Structure 1
Amino acid sequence: MELADLLRGSDATTVGTLAAQLEVSPRTVLRDLATLRERGMPISGEAGPGGGIRLERERGVAAVHLAVTEVVALWLAARLSREASDLPWGEAATSALSKLLASLPPAKASDMRVLCRRVIVGPPSSSTIRAGAGLPPPELLRIFEEAFSGGFGLAFHYRDREGRETNRKIEPHGLLVNTPVWYVLARDVEKGEPRMFRMDRIARPRVVRRIEFRPDFELIRSQIPEGPEWRSLAG
């Protein structure tokens, strides 16, 4: 990342200069330059006066450092778009994201796979569900993302399909996407049992940091509807 940032900040430089700036050997710089080229950075090198190492900005977009949650968001958006209809450039989007995923450092790629396994995507909602579905409270998306990604509890007021209202505290282990509706696949903290909560029936959500959990994939699997069309975002 430091090497890529140096290349972005200069018109042209040399392997020796880069090695001195990074306090590594020229061989290390050459190896890392090769790695950046393999990942798609348009780096060129010319010998002699006026030459050197440079980033060819007009040839493409330089690498962007994305958080795990940002990569997962892009992957989910592309997956939903592809399954909703055959849009132009759908295959190109999938190919580009595959290259992005392949370029992630091992630790970040591992975190991303764990997060993707917790997201279950199925077919669009039925017309009946769509007709009766409302919008979640505006703050729910941000609060759910924080609790889901950070492994924290979630508390909220819930109204079930029969109109009964309760206050709940849960561990948000999974997310089930049935566009445009989505559900939290959870463990009820007080009852200790799996529960599914629809997003538009949730009100007054808040993160409960004193409740911490590790993802329970058995609990997630136990709540996935039957059928091959329901698959995790990890594949």
Structure 2
Amino acid sequence: MTRVDRVMRLMDFLRAREATTVAEIAEALDVSPRTVHRDLATLRQRGVPLSSDSGPGGGVRLERDRGVTAVHLSQEEVVALWLAASLSATGSTLPWGNAARSGLQKLFASVPKERARGMRALCRRVVVGRPASARVLADVGTPPEELLAVFERAFREQVCLSFEYRDRHGNTSRRCVEPHGLLVEAPVWYVLARDVEKQAARMFRMDRIRRARLVPDRPFTPDMEGLQAQAHAQRDQARGLSSEDAPLERAG
């Protein structure tokens, strides 16, 4: 049994009982008490609300009155929901848009404070603007499917991203950047980044990126204050450009 399967079985075991003990869990899953304690710690780290009583007769139980216990979301899933809710606020008002935002606030409140801070920090690195202009839409392409997974990992793990980039003139160059943020002007999205070689802020349109790969030995610390402020201030200019491979102070 893989660890993922074992943790899922543990979760099912806890859901089926008001309370249980480490010894009962160990016997049911055919593992050691030490393994049970380690897997319980994993569930707590993922935000599952568990309580336990110390002592020989102590029990373990799900706190069923604390938020959603049947669904455990990764940071990426939370950011995806937050982005969807934010996009619903742009343009026309959509049904349940307010409910989506309210639900996310409850989700943040239902997880440990440290994890909630990490989720909020990740969401703050995403800037949602108005829909892309007709000029941008006229030549927009589709980002390669494999780029999404590479970008998400670089964004989450805070490591550099290397890729081949084609600018608005058709010129191609190899770039290595720190992906500090993401600007979404649906359906177009841009990497708000710092070019490692040029040591300057740049914005790259995702459909012009090819052959992306992680650079795990080049970590960075996200710094969105300047980049996000510039993205907000210059957003209208960015919407009218056919390429955003330019300094953020010019392109937004």
TM-score, scaled relative to structure 1: 0.74
The residue number in structure 2 matching 1:72 is: 79
The residue number in structure 2 matching 1:63 is: 70
2: CA distance between counterparts of 1:116 and 1:191? 27
The residue number in structure 2 matching 1:98 is: 105
1: CA distance between counterparts of 2:134 and 2:141? 13
Matched-pair contact (CA < 8 Å) for 2:131–2:185 = yes
The residue number in structure 1 matching 2:43 is: none
The residue number in structure 1 matching 2:220 is: 213
CA deviations on 1:46-67 (whole Å, 9 max, x unpaired) are xxxxxxxxxxxxxxxx531111
Query: Could you tell which deviates more after superposition, 171-180 or 211-220?
Result: 211-220
The residue number in structure 2 matching 1:24 is: 53
Q: Shift in Å at residue 93 of structure 1? A: 2.1
The residue number in structure 2 matching 1:149 is: 156
**Is residue 2:171 matched to residue 1:164?**
yes
* Amino acid aligned to 2:86: R
Q: Quick one: structure 1 residues 217 and 87, their matched pair in 2 at CA, closer, same or farther if it must change by over 3 Å?
A: closer
2: CA distance between counterparts of 1:133 and 1:217? 26
Q: Shift in Å at residue 21 of structure 1? A: 5.5
1: CA distance between counterparts of 2:82 and 2:71? 15
The gaps in structure 2 that reach 5 residues or longer are: 1-6, 26-51, 237-252
Moved over 3 A (4+): 1-7, 17-23
The gaps in structure 1 that reach 5 residues or longer are: 41-61, 230-235
RMSD over aligned Cα atoms: 3.0
Q: Shift in Å at residue 36 of structure 1? A: 3.5
TM-score, scaled relative to structure 2: 0.70
Q: Shift in Å at residue 82 of structure 1? A: 3.4
Among candidates 127, 130, 133, match of residue 123 of structure 1: 130
* Amino acid aligned to 1:111: G
SS in 1 for 2:89: helix
